[in-house]
Amino acid sequence: MIFSCAPARKQTYFNETTTGRTFTENISEYRLQPGDIVQIKVYSLTPGEFDFFSELSDIDLRTDPLLTGNLIGDDGTVVLPAVGAVRISGLTSREAQEKIRTVLVDYLDTPSVDVRLVSFHFSVVGEVLRQGKYEILEDRINILEAVGMAGGLTEFANYETVKVLRSDNGISTLHGVNLLDPNLPNSNFYYIRPNDVIIVDQLKNKNFRRNSSNNIALILSAIATGVTLILAIDNLTGD
């Protein structure tokens, strides 16, 4: 019975945090990689009949951005109308915007560019209610929001030994994350990145907790049987 219960503090986010505390979040901007899909919109003062890039700014918002986006090829480039291939792999979205804008200066009057990652997906497995692969149309999400999209943690989840499998330039590394750490927002893994896999471990006493009702029933039955035997023996010896 003792081991079947997990202390509330072991399942409470920011359990040592006081209201009003502020954090300095450790935000590192994602750098685009081959295989990513970006949505590129171009605006300029060039008359429409001479603007080869008008199609990039007239995207119907009701259309799936994955279908209207630009794929970054294996060589790290995207192909733009009239211009051709522009390498943006290894750049942040803001750096990619500036690079494309610089290229378009020779083609358009006062161009402005918006680059947005639209292929942000991640996976959550282990002790969550809905394991699976998830996709968002934002460029930033923290690990608590990601776990929330997976339905939250189960009663058997170990909040202190969550892992994040992250791939960077073809190398995958496993990192530990303690969701109960009051300084979690300062972690390098508070904000997840595209293709991250979040792994939620189970508590060591999961099997005991899962079968605790049966275990308790067996224990009580054994005690009752023992008491009955003692009373029976006492009655026999008393006679």
pLDDT, tens only, 190-212: 999 999 999 999 998 655 555 55
Instruction: Output 40 or 60, whichever has higher pLDDT.
Output: 40
Of 84, 117, 150, at which residue does a domain stop? 117
- pLDDT score for 96: 96
Q: How confident is the model at residue 224 (pLDDT cuts 50, 70, 90)?
A: confident
Number of domains in the chain: 3
Mean pLDDT of 28-45: 87
Rounded Cα distance, 194 and 43, in Å: 28
C-beta separation of 124 from 134 below 8 A: yes
- pLDDT score for 62: 47
- pLDDT score for 83: 87
Residues 90 and 71 both lie in one domain:
yes
Give the CA count within 13 Å in the CB-facing half-sphere of 22.
1
Residues 125 and 198 both lie in one domain:
yes
Instruction: Output 202 or 170, whichever has higher pLDDT.
Output: 202
Mean pLDDT of 173-201: 93
Residues 88 and 63 both lie in one domain:
yes
- pLDDT score for 65: 55
Rounded Cα distance, 142 and 193, in Å: 9
Residues 155 and 175 both lie in one domain:
yes
Rounded Cα distance, 60 and 134, in Å: 24
Of 81, 96, 117, at which residue does a domain stop? 117
- Boundaries of domain holding 186: 121-204
Residues 131 and 186 both lie in one domain:
yes
- pLDDT score for 15: 62
CATH code for position 43:
3.30.1950.10
CATH code for position 194:
3.10.560.10
What is the residue whose two structure tokens read 């909040």? 159
C-beta separation of 70 from 78 below 8 A: yes
Q: What is the dihedral of CA 1, 157, 149, 194, to 10 degrees?
A: 180
Rounded Cα distance, 70 and 56, in Å: 10
SS (H, E, C) the chain: CCCCCCCHHHHCCCCCCCCCCCCCCCCCCCCCCCCCEEEEEEECCCCHHHCCCHHHHCCCCCCCHHHHCEECCCCCEEEECCCEEEECCCCCHHHHHHHHHHHHCCCCCCCEEEEEECCEEEEEEECECCCEEEEECCCCCEHHHHHHHCCCECCCECCCCEEEEEEECCEEEEEEECCCCCCHHHCCCCECCCCCEEEECECCCHHHHHCHHHHHHHHHHHHHHHHHHHHHHHHHHHC
Residues 70 and 142 both lie in one domain:
no
Residues 127 and 94 both lie in one domain:
no
Of 69, 91, 117, at which residue does a domain stop? 117
C-beta separation of 167 from 152 below 8 A: no
pLDDT, tens only, 141-158: 999 999 999 999 999 999
pLDDT, tens only, 89-125: 999 999 999 999 999 998 888 889 999 898 889 999 9
What is the residue whose two structure tokens read 């960077």? 168
Instruction: Output 120 or 139, whichever has higher pLDDT.
Output: 120
What percent of the chain has pLDDT above 70? 73
Residues 186 and 213 both lie in one domain:
no
- pLDDT score for 61: 45
| Sign of the dihedral defined by the CA atoms of residues 199, 201, 202, 203, in that order | negative
Residues 200 and 211 both lie in one domain:
no
Residues 214 and 200 both lie in one domain:
no
Is the pLDDT at 17 greater than 50? The verdict is: yes
29 in a domain, yes or no? no
25 in a domain, yes or no? no
